[in-house]
Structure 1
Amino acid sequence: MKHLNYKGYTGSIEYSPEDSMLYGKVIGIKGLISYEGETGKLLEEDFKLAVDSYLSDCKQNGISPEKPFKGSFNVRISSTLHQKAALLAMEAKTSLNNIVAEAIRLHIEKEEV
């Protein structure tokens, strides 16, 4: 397992040799939600407690919790690559968004093999 998952939140798994502790933070949001544990089981338990505490605090304070990986992000590329991708999308009668999404999907599938 490379990441922890709970209620739509993803957490990192790190190790501190100085402390002999596992630790991590929720990724994909701006806020800091961190957790730790001496074993994998304790790390996972603290991760779930941290997410539950975050969601409870948001509810108590009447604020919407951050949604990780909303499905939109900015991509900065050269103007030449932007032009080529836009023209390819136009010729394929699809959107630039679809071209980018497909390229990412193909790259991830290649890495997962």
Structure 2
Amino acid sequence: MMEYKGYIGKVEFDDEAEIFHGEVVNTRDVITFQGTTVAEIKQAFHDSVEDYLDFCAQLGHEPEKPFTGKFMVRIPPDLHRRIYSSARIAGKSMNAWVIEQLKQSTAFVH
């Protein structure tokens, strides 16, 4: 994984073609890049993000932000009830309680 301007690039190596290829994974827009060396793939990633931002500017469109801050998830009703009850017991809103739990479980990820 690589990060540039908030965009996260995932890179894979194609052994047959002997090339690195990647894509930005935290936007719905399609942003891809490729290179034959680590230096090339990093530069291609940065160039692709810059090209995307320039393209959006030329069209007068706002580039898609990597994250909106909204997280929608479907869960079983019983788990929903348990989360709600746990939040109430902790004296927090369900949103605040879930954020706290997610922060604790992802503390090692930057």
TM-score over 0.5 (shorter chain): yes
CA RMSD of aligned residues (A): 1.3
CA distance in 2, matches of 1:50, 1:23: 12
- Provide the aligned length of Structure 1 versus Structure 2: 109
CA distance in 2, matches of 1:21, 1:98: 44
Could you list the runs of 4 or more consecutive aligned residues of structure 1 that deviate by over 2 angstroms after TM superposition? none
1:61 is aligned to 59
Question: SS of 2:39's equivalent?
Answer: helix
Question: SS of 2:61's equivalent?
Answer: coil
Question: SS of 1:5's equivalent?
Answer: strand
Stretch moving more, 20-29 or 99-108: 99-108
TM-score normalised per structure 2: 0.91
1:9 is aligned to 7
1:18 is aligned to 16
Residue identity (%): 34
The counterpart of 1:72, out of the listed 57, 70, 73, is: 70
1:32 is aligned to 30
CA distance in 2, matches of 1:51, 1:95: 37
CA distance in 2, matches of 1:41, 1:33: 18
TM-score normalised per structure 1: 0.89
In structure 1, runs of 5+ residues without a counterpart are none
1:82 is aligned to 80
In structure 2, runs of 5+ residues without a counterpart are none
1:108 is aligned to 106
